[in-house]
Structure 1
Amino acid sequence: MSTQANRVMALSEWEDRWQEGRISFHQPQVHKFLEKYLDKIVHGQKSIRFFFPLCGKAVDMKWLADMGHTVAGVEISEKGIKQFFEDQSLRYNEEPVPEIPGAKVFKSADGKISIYQSDLYKFSSAIAGKFGGIWDRGALVAINPCDRQKYAALLTSLMESDCRYLVDTLEYNPEQYKGPPFLVTEEGVKNLFEGACDIELLQSADGFEERHRAWGIDYLTEKVYLLTPKKQ
């Protein structure tokens, strides 16, 4: 982590990646860990409100909406948001967000999916309420390491008292690759969240694929955790 601590990516760099189509972080199918552990988030409820930080055009949002859940995401790239609705053949409306100057919200015609085009740190529960489920795939590992405390404070502020937060992390040798995605260790997750949440490691798996050789790394471990607010 120390070698990555000062690595900072501007929002404009993420915008550029979308404009140039450099979005290897996008997955065209529902994430295997979300499928596998969905029951742990839903916990027997028929409909819950999901939050997707830095959602991109994740197909997982449509998958959950089709099951009867509602989804709110935050994404800086308007191109990414519009691609989501186009890829999923969903009609949508565009509205300003009065609480965030310059921000917009894109809502599916059926109201089940809302994606806010905004700086994540300008988003709050005052804008969209709190959530019963959070799926964090590619967000905690994408934010600048120096912003992690701010990120954790935001995420915990968005959690209902019975919220279940599923977070996917990556571990590799940071001497070999500067990120993003950035290294997030088990200790790092605990440092950020254990004050507010109970943390359970659900699975640790070999996430190394051929494409990762281009990063210069020789191993990649993917870990998924379930976080639940501590009882008051």
Structure 2
Amino acid sequence: MEMDGAAGVPAELQGGRAQADRVLTAQEWLHKWETGTAAFHKEHGHPLLEKYLDVLLSGRSGLRIFFPLCGKAVDMKRLADLGHSIVGVDISEQALKEFFADQGLSYCEEPVPGIAGLFSSSFYSEIVGKFDGVWDRGALVAVNPCDRPRLVNSLSIQKFVSSLISFTVSFPGPPFYVPESEVKSLFGNHCEIKLLEKVSDFSERHRRWGLDYFLEVLYILKFVA
């Protein structure tokens, strides 16, 4: 852990403090998708999901799996091809349409009370009810820090897998720094939490952001009665 020489404060904690009051509006997120600066998309799927897929599925088939703030994650198609029902939610209509186009899938748009539009394909299930699992590859680190409890409280699932991000320097975000202590604070009262792996995902893009390292931290969270 790096330390700030002047204040004696871990630099990664400085990053969290710099972000604490940061709020992005819906319009700002839509602009990121319109300008191609959302910076979360992985063209070939998430390697950690592939590596730990058996841990998430636990040998089960036909699961209902939720992707919060899904963007156009190719992992949705990957899991659908394995026979699972997928529900993805995102604020960006453009991201959803690009997902279907990229994957060569037809879809229809249906009105849903309280929701602007529902884009559904043959592998999408009903959007209500409980889920067997969640793959969060960027939702918790994307929502405004003040909204994290609302995201957590909206989940009604048996198993939750989350890929979180840590870094060392002050950075406005998103992504927003979510320390392990906050993961425990958000989920610890009703989940068993296991850290599966920390891996470096540092790239030239992150260097341009002013970061000196970029870690993805993969947790598996199992809800308990």
TM-score by length of 2: 0.89
Q: What is the CA-CA distance between 1:132 and the residue it aligns to? A: 0.4
- Structure 1 stretches lacking a partner, 5+ long: 116-126
Q: What is the CA-CA distance between 1:207 and the residue it aligns to? A: 2.1
Matched position secondary structure for 2:17: coil
Matched position secondary structure for 1:128: coil
Task: State yes or no: 1:170 paired with 2:165.
Answer: yes
Inter-partner Cα distance in structure 1 for 2:140 and 2:182: 11
Q: Among 16, 19, 23, which residue is 1:4 paired with? A: 19
| Structure 2 letter corresponding to 1:89 | G
Partner of 1:205: 199
| Structure 2 letter corresponding to 1:173 | T
Residues 64-114 of structure 1 show CA distances to partners (whole Å, capped at 9, x for unaligned) of: 10110010011111111111101111011110112x1x4211111x2x136
Moved over 3 A (4+): none
Q: Which has the larger radius of gyration?
A: 2
Inter-partner Cα distance in structure 1 for 2:215 and 2:34: 29
Contact 2:67 2:88 in 1 (8 A): yes
Q: Among 50, 59, 66, which residue is 1:35 paired with? A: 50
- Structure 2 stretches lacking a partner, 5+ long: 1-15
Partner of 2:87: 72
Question: In the TM superposition, what are the counterparts of 1:7-22 in structure 2 within 5 Å?
Answer: 7-22=22-37
Partner of 1:180: 174
Contact 1:134 1:164 in 2 (8 A): yes
Contact 1:62 1:88 in 2 (8 A): yes
Partner of 2:124: 113
Matched position secondary structure for 1:2: helix
Contact 2:169 2:212 in 1 (8 A): no
Inter-partner Cα distance in structure 2 for 1:219 and 1:27: 18
| Structure 1 letter corresponding to 2:202 | F
Task: State yes or no: 1:153 paired with 2:153.
Answer: yes
Residues 114-147 of structure 1 show CA distances to partners (whole Å, capped at 9, x for unaligned) of: 69xxxxxxxxxxx511100100001101000011
Inter-partner Cα distance in structure 2 for 1:10 and 1:36: 34
Partner of 1:142: 142
Q: What is the RMSD computed on CA atoms of the aligned residues?
A: 1.4
Inter-partner Cα distance in structure 2 for 1:46 and 1:193: 26
Inter-partner Cα distance in structure 1 for 2:91 and 2:109: 15
Identity of aligned residues (%): 49
Task: State yes or no: 1:52 paired with 2:46.
Answer: no
| Structure 1 letter corresponding to 2:119 | F
